[in-house]
Amino acid sequence: MLNLLTPIDVGTIRIRNRIVMPAMHLLYTPEGEVTDQLVAFYAERARGGAGLIIVGGCTIDEYSGGSNMIGLHEDRFIPGLKRLVREVHDNGALIGAQLYHAGRYAHSALIGRQAIAPSALASRFTHEEPREMNKDDIARVIDNFARASARAKEAGFDLVEILGSAGYIISQFLSPITNRRTDEYGGGLENRMRFGLEVADAVRNAVGDDYTVFMRLAGNDFMPGGNTNKEARIFARELVGHGIDAFNVTGGWHETRVPQIPMEVPRGGFAYLAKGIKETVSKPIIACNRINDPMLAEEIISNGIADMVGFARGLIADPMMPKKLEQERSKEIMPCIGCNQGCFDHVFSLKPVECLVNPRAGSESSVPMHVKTGSRKHVMVIGGGPAGLSAAAEAARSGHKVTLYERTDKLGGQLHIAGALEERKEFITLAHALTAQAFATGVSIKTGVTVDSKILRDNEPDVVMIATGGRPVVPPIPGVDAQNVVQAWDVLSGRANVGKDILVIGGGAVGIETAIYLAKIGTVDAETLRFLFLYNAEDVDTLREISTRGVKNVRVIEMLERLGADIGFTTRWIELGMLRRHGVKAGTGTKAKEITPEGVVVEIQGREEFIPCDTVVLAVGTAPINSLKGSIEDMGIDIKVIGDAKKPRKAFDAIRDGFYAAREIS
């Protein structure tokens, strides 16, 4: 048996396996009250085999966070929380409540008052200045942590987790960046730890010795001048003496410039933070952040890096992941790819969490997991991109006979283009996962076949789903058909040759990622960089230069005043940073007027300029391909157009299109 699937004793509880679903904001509780949506979401993860589910953050008082978070600051929330606990327990998992206080990260618009913090220092996250806490404020917040923990125990939660990471209030007291106090709560590390230790004491006193208490700990703040794993180890060691039974180790603040969870982060890249804490204390340790592969989690546990592993988004993506592991069906697991499109992008837009790879996420209470048809149909899916694969698999799950046709020899469509950049390769992981799902559900797949009228007549389908995708737009620019002009898709697919000086027209996601792809040509790869680093072959500045400066001179222009307007909030800043890091020049408010063999004439704020270049790369959008629609309609066949064939959008929309269109077949 996998170590990941073995039980573990923590504090006063036994957890059935080492798979933990850490707390994350879902925005399923608009008034703080437990809802059917929240209960169904977590009950399904429990039914899927998770060992421990931690919900939250749960607000401990009126300053903690907005009303759209799970409420734990008043007794009136207890009945709903009891219902949530009961449903999770009935489905076999244990459940904990995370005690949350945002401190200066609380937005005044959401809490209806000025935020409070150890010092009156604004953050880049809210751009608001909090009020400095006085001694009464400190005592009251500590007491509110205790009261909330008592409510959690009364509601039946198996444990509470104190949130001491991510730049929230305990982190703010602990960090010299945000704690400028001159009293006993400020100054050296011993004083800065005082608030967190007193919270731990208060919680322990409130729940008693026979109850389990976790601490969510930042293994490194990744803030210049802030706390590192060295300080985190000291804090963890002190916390053990104040009643903490286990540590859930994460990293970073919302303000950090080091990405923590998107696909640009290497899988398991921050497990070393958990290792540092585990080497310091004898309590169980949970490793978190970008661990989306159960086999990677198994390595982390079997190698003694941590005792448990957090799968937050991994269990959003596939709530049945633990059961599939137990049943040796790991190839059927739908992985989280770290895209952030449905989870963190939604949260920062104050929208409920959904998921690119799991269209049911957040809809468990209204959309059943399995729906078997009473009328089996022959369904033909034309196109093997994300929309087509999603539709085919769901139609087959519903009991229909499904055949999918793809004109090329490779399934996944534009996911392979999206995953061409090394940092975005998880999109190719998704292509393979969607393909595996289709095969596992019994879809008959035929590649290298272009569907025509004869194939339609010979197969006599009841339903045809057109998922033929899109094609790159060719803009009406004079000279656009010249030999020095190529499409971004061809560059990313390796089908186009480019010169030394390159201009990319279009500063959306495709244009930016193409520019980065080109700028990386000639840089050293990760293996070479590691070799040079370990042997001290070059100094750090040289290593940075040869990692970011290639052999191409790349520039990208965008008509709009904003680069990457179609990129999600939690990813855009990373990609713009990559542009700068790789020396790509970028211009907004710039319109291409004419392409010549020597370069491009552009208009910037009403004046014309000439940008010399060897190659022009077009990245100006996608147009739908659905030419079969009319002829299929003439044949009287039921037809559904999905994905980019309907309207070019993100993979998030394409997969949902396919899933829900398949559900409509009756």
Residues 328 and 186 in one domain: yes
CA angle 195, 196, 198 (to 5 degrees): 65
Q: What is the CATH number of the domain that holds 646?
A: 3.40.50.720
378, 461 contact by CB (below 8 A): yes
Residue 275 falls inside a structural domain:
yes
pLDDT on residue 230:
98
pLDDT interval class at 628 (50, 70, 90): confident
| pLDDT tens digits for range 35-94 | 999 999 999 999 999 999 999 999 999 999 999 999 999 999 999 999 999 999 999 999
Residues 65 and 11 in one domain: yes
Residues 498 and 386 in one domain: no
pLDDT on residue 633:
83
Residues 507 and 446 in one domain: no
Q: What is the CATH number of the domain that holds 497?
A: 3.50.50.60
pLDDT of 372 > 90? The answer is no
Residue 644 falls inside a structural domain:
yes
The amino acid at 257 = R
pLDDT of 635 > 90? The answer is no
Mean per-residue pLDDT over the chain, rounded: 96
Residue 473 falls inside a structural domain:
no
Q: What percent of the chain is predicted at pLDDT more than 70?
A: 100
Residue holding tokens 């803030």? 223
Q: What is the CATH number of the domain that holds 13?
A: 3.20.20.70
pLDDT interval class at 115 (50, 70, 90): very high
Q: Which position has the higher pLDDT, 511 or 627?
A: 511
pLDDT on residue 632:
87
Average pLDDT over residues 529-544: 97
Residues 603 and 635 in one domain: no
pLDDT on residue 627:
86
644, 385 contact by CB (below 8 A): yes
Name the token pair of 453: 């009228």
Residue 15 CB partners (closer than 8 Å, separation 6+): 7, 8, 9, 51, 52, 94, 308
pLDDT on residue 634:
81
pLDDT of 371 > 90? The answer is no
pLDDT on residue 169:
98
| pLDDT tens digits for range 286-322 | 999 999 999 999 999 999 999 999 999 999 999 999 9
521, 533 contact by CB (below 8 A): no
Query: Rounded distance, CA 86 to CA 348, Å?
Result: 30
Closest CA to 615 of 514, 529, 497: 497
pLDDT on residue 268:
95
pLDDT of 400 > 90? The answer is yes
Residues 532 and 451 in one domain: no
Q: What are phi and psi of 31, to 5 degrees?
A: -115, 15
Q: What 8-state DSSP symbol labels residue 130?
A: P
Residues 597 and 459 in one domain: no
pLDDT interval class at 550 (50, 70, 90): very high
pLDDT of 370 > 90? The answer is no
594 sits in the region (left: phi over 0; alpha: psi -120 to 50; else beta) called beta
How far is C-alpha 296 from the chain's CA centre? 18
Residues 451 and 594 in one domain: no
195, 185 contact by CB (below 8 A): yes
Residue 353 falls inside a structural domain:
no
Residues 523 and 655 in one domain: no
In which domain, by residue range, is 199 found? 3-348
Q: Which position has the higher pLDDT, 631 or 444?
A: 444
* b/e map 583-596, b = 16+ CB within 10 Å: ebebbeebebeebe
Instruction: Output the pTM of the full model.
Output: 0.95
Q: Where are the beta strands (DSSP E) in 107-239?
A: 116-117, 131-132, 159-164, 212-218
| pLDDT tens digits for range 202-232 | 999 999 999 999 999 999 999 999 999 999 9
Residue 301 falls inside a structural domain:
yes
Q: What are phi and psi of 495, to 5 degrees?
A: -100, -5
Residues 553 and 569 in one domain: yes
pLDDT of 4 > 90? The answer is yes
Residue 50 falls inside a structural domain:
yes
Residues 107 and 90 in one domain: yes
pLDDT on residue 23:
98
Residue 447 falls inside a structural domain:
yes
Q: What are phi and psi of 563, to 5 degrees?
A: -75, 145
Picking from 348, 369, 400, the residue at the C-terminal end of a domain is: 348
Q: At what angle do helices 509-519 and 569-581 cross, to 10 degrees?
A: 30
Residue 142 falls inside a structural domain:
yes
pLDDT of 630 > 90? The answer is no
Name the token pair of 4: 């990941």
pLDDT on residue 631:
82
Q: Indicate the helix (H) or strand (E) that contains 609.
A: strand 607-612
pLDDT on residue 487:
98
As for how many domains the chain has, the answer is 3
pLDDT on residue 415:
97
Residues 254 and 267 in one domain: yes
423, 571 contact by CB (below 8 A): no
Alpha helices in 409-539 (DSSP H): 415-418, 426-440, 453-459, 488-492, 509-519, 526-534
Q: What is the 3-state secondary structure (H, E, C) of 276-337?
A: HHHCCCCCCEEECCCCCCHHHHHHHHHCCCCCEEECHHHHHHCCCHHHHHHCCCHHHCCCCC
